[in-house]
C-alpha cells in the first residue's frame, strides 16, 4: 500500500459533479480550424483566384451563363475542401483523444486509470516513476524526485516530500517541498498526491497559449512537395503569359479571350491536389493504424515506416506476453518449481522473504510485481511476510553494480537489515564469494537460462553504523539463492518475425536479461539461430567502428543498460540503417527520440517514453509493429500512385489548353472545362487512391531507400509519358474529326468525353503498373465502382442538359461523336497498355 493512512479518494458521483462544474483538465491550446478559417484559406488559393478572374472575364464578355457556372463552382470547391478538412480533422481528433495523457487515481477506495482530461480537483493521484503529472497537486504520501525543467529551466530533478493537507502552494523549484506541478515528470519513486488545480488554473496553464499551441513541423514529403509546387507555379505563370500573348498577338483573338485561355493553361498546370494527397493520406493512414492498436503521435513518422531496415525490439512485453511469474527458486542443492506446487518448503522461505524486502512496496517493474505476488501467496500467515515495513534507505541499480539494496531498521539501535537483489553475478560479487561458489552459481544460472528463465540473485546482510556507506560493496552480504522468472512469448510473434524477415527488415533484440535467457527466447520465437550475443559490458569496451562491425553479425544484445540503447541506435544509423526502436522506461526516452521511428509501449510504458516516441503500441504487441510497417508501406505506395495519376492527368489537359494557340486552332479547353475535370481528379486523389489495398508483394520487397520520393524523376517521368501519349491521341483525334467535317463544338464534345473517360482509365492503369488497366476493375477497392458511376453520370449530365452543354460550348451529341469518343478511349487504352509492356525501365521506384 502506498499510503500510511487509508485514503478513499473522491466518490464517483462527486467526481462527476466536479467535472460538470469545472470542465475538462485541458491546457490552453490550438482549436481545430473553424469553418471560416477553412473558407478563408480557399479564398487565398491560386486556383480559386483564377476562377474569380475567369468569372469576371466571362461577365465582361457578356457570357453570363459561363460566369455563373464558374462562380457557382466556387461553392463546390469550398464544399469539397470542407469535406476533406473535416474528414482529416476527425481522424486527427480521434488520434489526439487516444494520445491524451492518462492518470491513475483513487476513487471510492479503488485505483482506476482515467483520461487525464477527467481529473478533477480533490482527486487522489497515484504517481510512479516516469509519469507525467496531470495537474497541480500536493504530495500526501511517499517521496520521489521530479523534473521541473519545463517550468524552471533547471534540468536537475528536485526532491518532493509529503506536506500537510492545508499547505498553501508555492512557486515551482526547490528541494523538499510537497508541491507538484502539471506537465512535470516523476523521475524516481512513488506516492499519492491530492489535486489542487486543473487546466488553465495550473502553473503551466497560466504561462499562456504559446506553451500548449505547439505546431508540428512539416515532413520531408511536405517540404519536397511545396518546393515542386512552387516551381510549377512559376512555370504556370510564365507559360500562361506566353499563351495570352500568342492568342492576342498571333492568333488575332481579343485580349479577354486570350486571358481566358491563359488562365485555363495556368489552372491545367497547377497540381493543387498534391497538398491534399499528403494531408489526407498521412492523416487517414495514421487513423487506420490506430484501429490496429498503433497510435501515431507524430504523423510524419508514417513516412519513415516503409523505409525501416532495422527494428530494435525490447524483449519483455513486446516479444513476450509481459506476464512475468516466479517459476523457480534455487538454493544450495535444492530447487522449487512453482507450477503445480501445493506449498513452499521452509528451505525457500528466507529467499522469498528477502526477495520481497528488496522490492518496493508498490512496484512498477513486472519482475518486482511477480516477486510481490509470489511472496503474498506463499508467505501469508508466516513471520517472513512484512506488509508494513518501510525501508530507511536504499541503493539503486547502477551501471557499475547491477543490483539494488534496501536498508531496514532492525529494532536495535544502529543495526540495520539489508535486502539485495539483482544480476546473479553482481550479487555474488557483493557477497565476496570464493571462485568455486561463483562458478556453481553461474552453472545454475545457465541451466535456468537455457529453459528461458530470467534469473535474479538474492542476498541478505547485516550492518551497524550511523552513516550510510557510499557503495553497496561496503556492506557484508550472505548469498541466499536464485529466483527464476518466466514470461512466455506472444503466440503471434514467430509469424510476425518471419514476415519482417521476408520484408527485408532485420530484427535486433535488446534486453537486460542474461545472454542465455535472451538466446532461448530468440530461438523460441524464430528470431535467430545464431549463437552470437553481445553484452552490455562488451559494448562498453568497443569503439563505434568496432561496434558497427559486431552488429553486422549479431542479432541479440543482452545485459544492456538503458543508456546503451541510445548508442546502439546511433551506431546503426551511422551505418546507413533506418532504425525503429521500442522502449518503455524513462531512460529509454533519448533512444526513442533519436530513432527514426521511436515506438513506446502503451500498456506498460511511462508517460515520458510515450511522449518521446513517434508511435505508441496500445497493446504492446510485436505483431502490431509489423502491421504498422505494412500500413506505412501501403500509405507510401498509394501516395506514389496518386502523385503519378495527378501528373499524368494534368499533361493532356495542359496540351489541350496550350496546343491550339500554337497550331492556330480554336480554343479546346476553357476554365469551365478544367474546373469540371477537377471534380474527377480531386476525389480520385483523396478518396479512391487513399483506399487502395496492400499490394500483393508489399511485405516481400526490401525497404525503400530513405532518399526516395514520389516526386522523383522515375515516378514523374512515367506519369508524364502516360500523359503525353494521351495528349497525342486526343489532339490527333481532334484534328481528324475537324478534317472529316465535324464542327468545333462537335469535336470539342467528343474530345472532352474521350478525355474524361480516359482519366478514369488512367486511374485504373495507375493502381498497378504491372497489370492492364482493365484488370484494375477487379481489384478490391470499393470506391472504383462508385467513381466510374459518378464519372459516367457527370458526363451524361454535361452532354445531355442543354444549359450545361451551352456553357461548355458543346454541340448536341450524336452517334458519330459517341463512336469518336469511344475510339479516342480505345487509343488511350492501347497507349497505356503499350507503355506498360515496354516501359519497365521507366516505372516508379518502389
In 3D space, the residue among 248, 239, 225 whose CA is nearest the CA of residue 267 turns out to be 239
User: Residues near 144 by Cβ (< 8 Å), separated by ≥ 6?
Assistant: 127, 129, 159, 160, 186, 187, 188, 189, 190, 191
Is-contact 454 513, C-beta < 8 A?
yes
Beta strands 334-337; 325-331: pairing state? antiparallel
187 DSSP assignment? E
470 vs 32: CA distance, rounded Å: 54
Cα–Cα–Cα angle for 196, 202, 208, rounded to 5 degrees: 170
Half-sphere exposure in the Cβ direction for 770 (13 Å, CA): 5
189 vs 187: CA distance, rounded Å: 7
Is-contact 408 391, C-beta < 8 A?
yes
Q: Where are the alpha helices (DSSP H) in 575-621?
A: 589-594, 607-612
Cα–Cα–Cα angle for 483, 4, 398, rounded to 5 degrees: 40
Q: Is there a catalytic annotation at residue 513?
A: no
623 vs 630: CA distance, rounded Å: 11
Is-contact 42 48, C-beta < 8 A?
yes
Cα–Cα–Cα angle for 136, 137, 143, rounded to 5 degrees: 130
Q: Which residue has the cell 519482475?
A: 367
138 vs 167: CA distance, rounded Å: 8
In 3D space, the residue among 810, 803, 638, 647 whose CA is nearest the CA of residue 716 turns out to be 647
Output phi, psi for 561, to 5 deg: -85, 145
Question: Annotated catalytic residue: which of 63, 123, 131, 314?
Answer: 314
Output phi, psi for 765, to 5 deg: -65, -35
Three-state secondary-structure class, residue 105: strand
608 vs 443: CA distance, rounded Å: 39
In 3D space, the residue among 235, 245, 268, 271 whose CA is nearest the CA of residue 657 turns out to be 268
264 vs 599: CA distance, rounded Å: 48
Just list the catalytic residues: 314
Amino acid at each position: 500500500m502506498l499510503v500510511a493512512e487509508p485514503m478513499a479518494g473522491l466518490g464517483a458521483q462527486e467526481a462527476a459533479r466536479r467535472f460538470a462544474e469545472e470542465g475538462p483538465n485541458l491546457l490552453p491550446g490550438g482549436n481545430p480550424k473553424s469553418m471560416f478559417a477553412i473558407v478563408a484559406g480557399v479564398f487565398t488559393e491560386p486556383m480559386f483566384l483564377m476562377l474569380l478572374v475567369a468569372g469576371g472575364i466571362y461577365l465582361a464578355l457578356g457570357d453570363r451563363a459561363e460566369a455563373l457556372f464558374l462562380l457557382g463552382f466556387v461553392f463546390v470547391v469550398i464544399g469539397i475542401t470542407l469535406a476533406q478538412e473535416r474528414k482529416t480533422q476527425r481522424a486527427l481528433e480521434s488520434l489526439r483523444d487516444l494520445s491524451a495523457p492518462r492518470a491513475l487515481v483513487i476513487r471510492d477506495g479503488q485505483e482506476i486509470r482515467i483520461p487525464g482530461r477527467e481529473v478533477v480537483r480533490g482527486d487522489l493521484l497515484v504517481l510512479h516513476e516516469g509519469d507525467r503529472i496531470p495537474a497541480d497537486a500536493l504530495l500526501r504520501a511517499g517521496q520521489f524526485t521530479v523534473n521541473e525543467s519545463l517550468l524552471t529551466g533547471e534540468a536537475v530533478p528536485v526532491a518532493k516530500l509529503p506536506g500537510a493537507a492545508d499547505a498553501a502552494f508555492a512557486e515551482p523549484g526547490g528541494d523538499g517541498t510537497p508541491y507538484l506541478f502539471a506537465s512535470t515528470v516523476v523521475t524516481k519513486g512513488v506516492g499519492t498526491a491530492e489535486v489542487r488545480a486543473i487546466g488553465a488554473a495550473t502553473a503551466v496553464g497560466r504561462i499562456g497559449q504559446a506553451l500548449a499551441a505547439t505546431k508540428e513541423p512539416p515532413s520531408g514529403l511536405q517540404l519536397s512537395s511545396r518546393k515542386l509546387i512552387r516551381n510549377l507555379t512559376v512555370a504556370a505563370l510564365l507559360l500562361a503569359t506566353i499563351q495570352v500573348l500568342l492568342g492576342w498577338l498571333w492568333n488575332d483573338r481579343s485580349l479577354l479571350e486570350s486571358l481566358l485561355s491563359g488562365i485555363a493553361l495556368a489552372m491545367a498546370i497547377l497540381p493543387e491536389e498534391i497538398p491534399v494527397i499528403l494531408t489526407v493520406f498521412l492523416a487517414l493512414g495514421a487513423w487506420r493504424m490506430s484501429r490496429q492498436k498503433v497510435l501515431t503521435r507524430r504523423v510524419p513518422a508514417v513516412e519513415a515506416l516503409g523505409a525501416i531496415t532495422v527494428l530494435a525490439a525490447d524483449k519483455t512485453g513486446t516479444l513476450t506476453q509481459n506476464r512475468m511469474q516466479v517459476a523457480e527458486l534455487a538454493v544450495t542443492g535444492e530447487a522449487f518449481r512453482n507450477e503445480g506446487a501445493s506449498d513452499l518448503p521452509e528451505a525457500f522461505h528466507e529467499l522469498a522473504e528477502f526477495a520481497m524486502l528488496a522490492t518496493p512496496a508498490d512496484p512498477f517493474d513486472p519482475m518486482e510485481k511477480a516477486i510481490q505476488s509470489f511472496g503474498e501467496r506463499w508467505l501469508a500467515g508466516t513471520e517472513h511476510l512484512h506488509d508494513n515495513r518501510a525501508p530507511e534507505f536504499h541503493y539503486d541499480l547502477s551501471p557499475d553494480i547491477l543490483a539494488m539494496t534496501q536498508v531496514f531498521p532492525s529494532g536495535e539501535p544502529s543495526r540495520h537489515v539489508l535486502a539485495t537483489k539483482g544480476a546473479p553475478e553482481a550479487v555474488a560479487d557483493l557477497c565476496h564469494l570464493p571462485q568455486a561458489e561463483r562458478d556453481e552459481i553461474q552453472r545454475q544460472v545457465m541451466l535456468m537460462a537455457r529453459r528461458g528463465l530470467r534469473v535474479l540473485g538474492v542476498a541478505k546482510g547485516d550492518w551497524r553504523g550511523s552513516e550510510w556507506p557510499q557503495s553497496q560493496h561496503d556492506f557484508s552480504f550472505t548469498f541466499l539463492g536464485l529466483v527464476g522468472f518466466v514470461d512466455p512469448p506472444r503466440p503471434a510473434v514467430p509469424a510476425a518475425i518471419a514476415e519482417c524477415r521476408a520484408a527485408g527488415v532485420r530484427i535486433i533484440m535488446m534486453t537486460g536479461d542474461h545472454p542465455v535467457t535472451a538466446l532461448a527466447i530468440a530461438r523460441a520465437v524464430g528470431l535467430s539461430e545464431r549463437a552470437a550475443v553481445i553484452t552490455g559490458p562488451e559494448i562498453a569496451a568497443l569503439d563505434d567502428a568496432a561496434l558497427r562491425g559486431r552488429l553486422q553479425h549479431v542479432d541479440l544484445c543482452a545485459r544492456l543498460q538503458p543508456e546503451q540503447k541510445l548508442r546502439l541506435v546511433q551506431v546503426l544509423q551511422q551505418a546507413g540503417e533506418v532504425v525503429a526502436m521500442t522502449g518503455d522506461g524513462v531512460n529509454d526516452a533519448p533512444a526513442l527520440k533519436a530513432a527514426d521511428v521511436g515506438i513506446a509501449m502503451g500498456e506498460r510504458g511511462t508517460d515520458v517514453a510515450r511522449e518521446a516516441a513517434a508511435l505508441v503500441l496500445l497493446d504492446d504487441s510485436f505483431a502490431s509493429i509489423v502491421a504498422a510497417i505494412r500500413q506505412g508501406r501501403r500509405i507510401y505506395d498509394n501516395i506514389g500512385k496518386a502523385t503519378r495519376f495527378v501528373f499524368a492527368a494534368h499533361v493532356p489537359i495542359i496540351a489541350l489548353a496550350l496546343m491550339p494557340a500554337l497550331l492556330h486552332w480554336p480554343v479546346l479547353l476553357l476554365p469551365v472545362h478544367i474546373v469540371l475535370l477537377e471534380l474527377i481528379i480531386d476525389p480520385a486523389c483523396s478518396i479512391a487512391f487513399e483506399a487502395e489495398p496492400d499490394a500483393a508483394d508489399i511485405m516481400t520487397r526490401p525497404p525503400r531507400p530513405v532518399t526516395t520520393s514520389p516526386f522523383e524523376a522515375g515516378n514523374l517521368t512515367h506519369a508524364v509519358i502516360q500523359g503525353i501519349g494521351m495528349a497525342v491521341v486526343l489532339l490527333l483525334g481532334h484534328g481528324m474529326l475537324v478534317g472529316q467535317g465535324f464542327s468545333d463544338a462537335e469535336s470539342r464534345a467528343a474530345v472532352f468525353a474521350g478525355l474524361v473517360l480516359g482519366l478514369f482509365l488512367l486511374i485504373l492503369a495507375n493502381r498497378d503498373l504491372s497489370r492492364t488497366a482493365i484488370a484494375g476493375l477487379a481489384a478490391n477497392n470499393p470506391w472504383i465502382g462508385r467513381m466510374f458511376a459518378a464519372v459516367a453520370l457527370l458526363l451524361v449530365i454535361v452532354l445531355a442538359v442543354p444549359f450545361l452543354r451551352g456553357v461548355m460550348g458543346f454541340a448536341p451529341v450524336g452517334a458519330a461523336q459517341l463512336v469518336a469518343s469511344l475510339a479516342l478511349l480505345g487509343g488511350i487504352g492501347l497507349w497505356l497498355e503499350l507503355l506498360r509492356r515496354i516501359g519497365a525501365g521507366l516505372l516508379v521506384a518502389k
